[in-house]
């Protein structure tokens, strides 16, 4: 994943990076959308072990097919000097816009990580079947995938990543809190779709900004740090919020995760918003 995200900017013009990031992550989201639903159906009608076996077979088949179409030579600028990892890291840490993206990614994933880990448990507590849980997760993932391209096109057109990230994060926090006050299946489905849309606009804007703001020879490292912040936020959220849910219930856990996620992400949003719009953005 990190290698793909670090490679794609070499094949995109700066003004098309939002669209490019949207396309590559849409492929990722399609896997997330089909996996839970198909896995839930197989588990409900057969067994969990068979669901994992089918998933492994599909993964191997898709990987084998995809390797045939990997690009051979990226269009990297010529004449770039080799740079050591430590020097590259120091260079990236001096770019406030990148620090902002990493902080916002950590905070946003702290919120979305709560949803991914504990929302299925909440749904099962309501008596929903494994297939129903998989369907709600698929709705979220499908919405995430479908709105990636519109999010990328909007970012390319208006070049206001700070605004888009802020609106997306606030939406994530509010929706994350609402889930545990709802028990109606249709309303939960609608909220899952909206949650997917918020994820699309938030993280598509963050990933594209990292690609635009990082030097060509350090895009892989910048993307690696971005994905590290994302998954670290999920990991720490899952670890800490498990204790909160156990002690105070789902409402406290979802509410606290939304508050903490926003608190961690908003300083990053300010750093992104203060960054001058790219001179390569359309319409400038």
pLDDT given for residue 284 in this prediction: 36
3-state class of 118 per DSSP?
Answer: helix
pLDDT given for residue 46 in this prediction: 82
- In angstroms, the CA 20 to CA 8 distance is 7
The DSSP annotation for 28-75 comes to: HHHHHHHHHHHHHHHHHHS-HHHHHHHHHHHHHHHHHHHGGG--SS--
pLDDT given for residue 76 in this prediction: 52
Q: What is the pLDDT along the chain (284 residues), one digit of tens a residue?
A: 666 666 666 666 666 677 777 777 777 777 766 777 788 788 888 888 888 898 889 888 888 887 777 666 555 555 455 567 788 788 888 889 999 999 999 999 999 999 989 999 999 888 888 888 888 888 888 888 889 889 888 888 888 899 999 999 999 999 999 999 988 889 999 999 999 999 999 998 998 899 888 887 788 888 889 999 999 999 999 999 999 999 999 999 999 999 999 999 999 999 998 876 544 443 33
Q: List C-alpha distances in Å: 215 to 62, 220, 239, 240, 280.
A: 32, 10, 34, 35, 14
pLDDT given for residue 71 in this prediction: 63
- In angstroms, the CA 156 to CA 150 distance is 10
Question: Nearest CA to 125 among 253, 30, 31, 240?
Answer: 253
Neighbours of 280 (CB within 10 A): 13
Burial of 84 (0-12, 13-18, 19+ CB in 10 A): exposed
pLDDT given for residue 167 in this prediction: 95
With beta carbons less than 8 A apart as the criterion, state whether 209 and 272 touch: yes
Give, in degrees to the nearest 5, the angle at Cα 256 between 32 and 199: 30
The DSSP 8-state label assigned to residue 76 in this structure reads P
- In angstroms, the CA 188 to CA 184 distance is 6
Q: Long-range contacts: 40-45, Cβ < 8 Å, 24+?
A: 40/129, 40/130, 40/131, 40/132, 40/133, 40/134, 40/135, 41/131, 41/134, 43/130, 43/131, 44/129, 44/130, 44/131
pLDDT given for residue 37 in this prediction: 72
Task: Characterise 249 by phi-psi region: left (phi > 0), alpha (psi -120 to 50), beta (else).
Answer: left
């Amino acid at each position: 994943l990190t290698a793909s995200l670090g490679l794609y900017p070499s094949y995109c013009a700066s003004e098309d990076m939002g669209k490019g990031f949207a396309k590559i992550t849409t492929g990722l989201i399609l896997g997330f959308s089909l996996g839970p639903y198909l896995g839930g159906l197989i588990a409900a009608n057969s067994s969990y072990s068979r669901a994992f076996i089918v998933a492994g077979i599909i993964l191997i088949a898709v990987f084998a097919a995809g390797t045939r179409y990997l690009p051979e030579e990226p269009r990297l600028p010529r004449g770039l000097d080799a740079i050591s990892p430590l020097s590259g890291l120091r260079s990236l840490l001096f770019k406030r816009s990148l620090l902002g993206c990493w902080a916002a990614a950590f905070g946003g994933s702290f919120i979305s990580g709560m949803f991914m880990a504990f929302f299925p448990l909440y749904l099962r507590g309501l008596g929903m079947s494994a297939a129903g849980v998989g369907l709600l997760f698929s709705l979220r993932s499908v919405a995430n995938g479908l709105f990636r391209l519109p999010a990328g096109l909007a970012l390319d057109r208006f070049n206001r990543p700070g605004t888009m990230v802020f609106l997306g994060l606030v939406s994530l926090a509010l929706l994350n809190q609402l889930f545990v006050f709802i028990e109606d299946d249709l309303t939960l489905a609608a909220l899952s779709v909206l949650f997917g849309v918020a994820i699309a606009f938030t993280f598509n804007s963050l990933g594209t900004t990292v690609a635009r703001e990082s030097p060509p020879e350090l895009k892989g490292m910048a993307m690696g740090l971005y994905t590290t912040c994302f998954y670290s936020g999920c990991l720490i959220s899952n670890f800490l919020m498990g204790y909160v849910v156990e002690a105070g219930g789902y409402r406290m856990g979802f509410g606290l995760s939304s508050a903490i996620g926003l608190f961690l992400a908003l300083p990053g949003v300010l750093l992104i918003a203060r960054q001058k719009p790219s001179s390569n953005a359309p319409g400038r």
